[in-house]
Structures are given as structure tokens and as C-alpha cells.
Homo-oligomer: A and B are copies of this chain.
Amino acid sequence: MSDLPVPPYYAVIFTSELVADATGYAAAAQRMEALASKQPGYLGIHSAREGGHGITVSYWRDEAAIRGWREQAEHLMTQQAGRSKWYERYTVEVSRVERCYAFTRED
């Protein structure tokens, strides 16, 4: 996401707290990012994690693209694994980006 898409587009805001022993989480997260990027309507992803607390924002062209990703077979299995093994809690917020702007330092 070096350039921002043209609004309107969709952002799925995922915030999470991991359990103390989240063995296998990092590899699964990496695999999901790679898999998401192959979905129709995928626009990009940003994530940051500070200790057990993380925010991942994934970007999509429209609601159909979000549905497609939510129901992707391997992703469904990983969501289930997340609830049983890795997450203490999480929130998912589906939002429609109305406007955006960017700043880049001039050197």
C-alpha cells in the first residue's frame, strides 16, 4: 500500500490480544497475509504488534471481497484455530473508507 486506493473502499480493522503461549501464531499470520493477497478485491494490509496486543487493517474493494476472504476454506480453519489456541480476545470492525490523505516528508 504505497499509494492509497481511491475511496470508497473497505477496511477491516482487527484488534487482538494473544494468549501467553501463542505457539504457531506468527507462522499462521504470515501464511494468512500471503493467502489474503491472492483474493479477488484485495487492496493491501497493514499490521503492528506490541507484545500481545495487535492491530491488523486489511483493505478491500467491496463487501463481496470481504465475504470471499472470510469464507475462504483455509482461512476458515485458521480462524477456528485462532479462537481455540491463540486469541484471548479480538474485535473485528468492517468499515467503509470515505476519504483519505497521505503525507510524505520531502528530503
Contacts and interface: CB of A to CB of B under 8 A. Distances in A.
Contacts of A19: 105
A4 B103 contact: no
Given A13-B11, A13-B57, A98 B89 contact: no
Contacts of A4: 91, 93
Contact of A91 (B88, B90, B92, B101): B101
Q: Which secondary structure dominates chain A's binding surface? A: strand
Contact of A99 (B53, B88, B90, B94): B94
B92 A95 contact: no
A105 B91 contact: no
A77 interface: no
7 contacts: A15-B46, A46-B55, A48-B48, A87-B105, A89-B103, A95-B95, A95-B97
